Structure 1
Amino acid sequence: MASKFQASDDFDDQFLTCPVCMPHFRDPRILPCLHTFCKGCLEEWVTKQQPLECPTCRTQVSLPDQGVDGLKTNFYVNNLLDFAAAKKGAEPGVPCQICEGNREGSKSWCADCAILMCDSCTLLHRKFPSSKDHEVTTEEILKAEEGRSKFHRKRHCDKHKKYELEFYCEICKTLVCTACTVVDHRPGKDHNPVEIATVAQKRKDTLQGLLQDIDPRLNEIEASVKEVERKMSNLMPSREEATNRANACFNQLVDLLREREKEIVGQIDEQCRADGKALQTKKEAIEFELVGLTSARTFCQQAVEHGSDVHVVEVGNQVQTRVETLLAKQLDLESNWSEFQFVENTAVANFKKAIGDLGGVKTDIDASKCEVVVKTAVEGFECIAELTTMNQEGRPCVTNSRAVTANMKDPSEHNVPTQLQMKYGGEWEISYVPTVTGIHRLEVQVNSEQVGGSPFDVQVHGKETPALTIGQKGRGVGELNWPLGVAVDKDGNIAVVEKGNKRVQVFDGRRGRSLSTFAVEGEKAFGIDVDSNGMFLVTSWGKNYGIRRYSKEGKLLNTFQPDCMKHPLGVAVLQDGRMVVADNKQKSCLLLQPDGSLIREIGKGQLRSPYFVSVDESRDVLFVTDNSAHKVFAFNLGGKLMFDFGKQGDNDGEMKNPHCVRVDPAGNVIVGNAGDGRVQVFGHDGTFTQKIATVEDGYATGIALTHDGNIVVACFHGHCMELYMYK
């Protein structure tokens, strides 16, 4: 809902208008942030944007497993639409919807039949046995002040169409009808149906308490917005005053100081722009919170004051969760800006002594309070340190780029090039690429003063230390739950199958930022690969097993379930579209045509527990891990066993439940163990060459090669992915 709700009977028509398509809502659905849109609009929006953001407040949205269909219906809006239609239909000149003849008399609305009737038809309607108990609203009630609050659309059971939803099963957390309480939700240890009115009153009491907590926070945020606006109004006068003082000083130095004058004025302008951008960003951030909380308050108030019992029960938990989340959110409502001014550092008579330092822009930055966080540094990788510039009160504060410098030296005192990039609100990123291991020295200065703790000792690690760890356990954006198969798409992004969340999540391969997610069908998702067109091939085993092809946006394109397939795990797609899949139940690998039909079965009678596959297309060799045999088998695509390598053990070249496998462009075979987490590299003939790493959780379940030649490994028990050096 995009507009304010009006308490009068003539409610705002915009309140019933979808913010996306603009006509009145059609099948309105509620997002977790409590904004409402047409179901069709949301379905179209999902196809254009991943991850999905609310079109109104830009909050990232995780859809239910059923997608848009799983979102709650906004029955309050439906009631208002019905009410508006009924009220308009009761106007003079509108015919009765039954007899189609009476246009001038008073009319009544049947909530059960959703029709408008004249007085005569209303009397007949009440006499029929099938409709005598229907809820009929008279024209007087429709026009009365309280008409809207008494007008409710009836909800009927999806299974027992004739019965209204009158009970709430507290154990199943679902609305049920009288028939359900006898059949599917009979009271007992597994079911506890309670009258809706009882549950609704409890929810209303909870929401009423939340309403009392919202107003103080709204007042606090509104006051903060006004304070930022006040400071913004002083920003330009401050700029003008500083500029005038700078001009007055530099006009005395004529040509000798013209270049210096321009530099200082430019610094002032940059400071003004930086402060202005920071204040504008701060204002938008605060207004964003204000809009979200105001919207939640409006929705909550509507539910308490005007929602039916069904509506309150239907959305009460969702409203409570949204409001409690907003109220619990830690907000920084301080603008952290103070006026700057031009400072005359040197008397005009003595300007020749310190011309290089003449003048400057004074800000509230306190170098001693600035903070630097050094992230894990690995030889050969782009590494970063994060600087936060602070004011004298220890709060983040914006300054101009000329005020910050960073220099790094390696253990041999050679310079390591660094780059500075301003991020947001006083946050800076210092990036560098170390070429040797050992202690490096990072010196960071602000306004020519060393920040607290500078210079910093930076330990640069070797290749066996992960340069980047992506994800942690959870269901949200950027979080992972039992990651398995990993693949890198044509854009260099990392796609990972999450068994626990039944989805594929795609991450930026450089920084590990989540870009998109999409749900996958099938009971137990497992392997993934990318075809030559950039489409994702995902396997799943268990109920509804198969190989499914998804678009880059996560739309299901087709499903392969050939009769020869029983338990598909790892999958590899060839350039010509053929697929190889390891089938654990068949104890073989299946070479399939692009349409999913079987070409041949490979490894039958030789494999015990095949898991993952990878193909060296330059030699037409298929490598498959055998988890139980602690080996990797190599077959040609004709089905002939060429050789195998590995045995159970802890030494180099030995394996412990090998799980994932990947062939690099040179034909080397990279194998990850599920038994001890070691990631080892073997030559194309199976000869051990090196150990890359041992993942922290000891359970390597997926391997992929990034475009810049590094390795990303899925860590099943660690619920993350680790990026290692491999060139």
Structure 2
Amino acid sequence: MAAASSSLRAQIREELSCSICLELFTRPKVLPCQHTFCQDCLQDHAEVQVPFQCPICRRHVRLPRQGVADLPDNLMAASMCERLQNQATLSGETKEQPQSGNRCSFHPSEEVKLYCKQCNVPVCTECCEEGHDGHPTTGLKKAAQEKRSTVQALINEGRNILESYLNFLRSLREKEKTLNEQKQQRDNSIIQTYNQTVQTMVQALTQSKDLLLSESQQNHSENLDRIQTERDRVLADLNELSVACDRAEQELQQGWAEFLSQQTDFTEVVGKYRGKAALTPVQTQPAVFQPTDTPVPVLGHVIAQSLPSAPIPAAPAPIPAAPAPIPTAPAASFGAARGRGHHHGNQRQWEHQPQNVTFGKGGSGIEQFQDACGVTVSEEGEIFVADWGNKRIQVFTLQGTFILQFPTIVSSPLTQFLFGEQKMKPHDVTLDGEGNLWVVGKTHPGEFAVQYNKQGRVLGKFDLQKTRWFRGVAVDTRRNHILITQTTGDLCNPTHGEVLVFRPDGTLVRTVGQQQGMENPHYITVDGEGNILVSDWDNHCVFVYNEDGQFLFQFGGEGSGEGRLINPKGICTDRAGNIILADNGNRRVEMFDKTGGFLKHITTDMRAPQAVAMATKGQVVVTDVYNTVSIFHNY
């Protein structure tokens, strides 16, 4: 039983220990999330954790003006810690005191040797004579033996009660952990639905904007046509009348005979236009734009489901069961007001069977390109296209709707102000783990890797060796490394290629691919396992390396049959690790498995596929040298 008692004390002590210092609470303070810590431990934590978060559940906590000291005290925890310490102290004193016999508290000189059965108290000889005369007594040892079983039963009952409460505390801890996990999943679902809803709203608003602008332009054109028609009619009349007046003046100067002979004709012309002198104003119908009062759509609802009423507990039993668990609502139900997969009936046809989309043409306007090169797609479905000749990045939705564009400037606003704006021709574009863009390209004096945010603001850059060849870029998001292809040599000397691995500040980490005879690498990607895949234009193949740059294998080879390549360019992978490749020379886009085995053709009717990117829902986005962008939903 001593071992059991020690185990229970240890478990109680564990429940009353600070999770930071692992000691009994000292001046315990409770946070809004109901977690308790020592005041000094929280003070130390607050100095290094800004903004302040609970060390257990990571919930953000706004500290009072007076800091940690002004947080509420956990009086119950403090009281229990004090009792536990006092009990340990008393236990230690009892063990240290020598056993010197049981002395009577009323008669200190007498030793207690008897037990009064009537009064149920230990007594000495003098007690029996004074206050317990005639009461039945027995020896103290015999009485202790008779009472031992009863006391032991009470001890066992108490231990069982303690164990039940400890089990209850453990269940509370598990329930708290489960609630935290459910909240995190619920919050993630809310954020995901918000992003999807915003994207859908932006697409719908963009389409509405385009339709309204088209209707506005049509109305404007019709009004201008009315004005032009009236202008042409009046100009014709004006010309006839002007000619008649000029002739009359000329004849009047030449002599009366000529004038009188033509007077009748001139009178008729003037009379003809006398009735037209009051011209009717042109009737136009300019359109008026009236914004709608459509309310903002609601994402959904967080609903705590009701629980059945708990029965009224019966009277406590001699040995109570574990305390009833605290009722909590099941994980809150959550549904998007416009969630996909739950619509029936009048759902749009494209939502069932999305069609492939192709847009773009040559030029410098919106949705026009001068050599559409690199492409990447964000988690939100934004397509970023490197518009090489126009020195810009254009952004579209996965339905091909234009969103925005920004120039690929190299320098910061201050440098632009001092030395003038410097733009580069972008070769390739990719996204890093924080949702920012990395673009590689060249200007007249040099070549650069530039980091932009999604609106085109320059965040950082570093210089690259000047070459005359194409570059590709990818990001290893797990290590935050920037991978860039590079080809050196010229038309008179053999070229050789490699992959340079940089940190975001431009520090070179390693060089990959020098030993495998890479000649002219174009595009590059990093798959979900961190493997590096590089398309080699001149070798008509793809090189594959592990995340540390060790060569694994290559596949392809010049040819037009299945699995053969001619001048491969863009490359990416899907969630399963399958490889999507732009087979430029064969005018097709193909899919291979993660070992390089041919799987299928995605399309075989492109003119010159350039770059490829995979969207979150499996769409394949392909740029073409002939200034188009294609989005393949079904392949």
Instruction: Report the TM-score range of the alignment, normalised by the length of the smaller protein.
Output: 0.3 to 0.5
* Bigger radius of gyration: 2
Q: By percentage of residues, which structure has more helix? A: 2
Q: By percentage of residues, which structure has more strand? A: 1
Give the alignment's TM-score, normalised by structure 1.
0.37
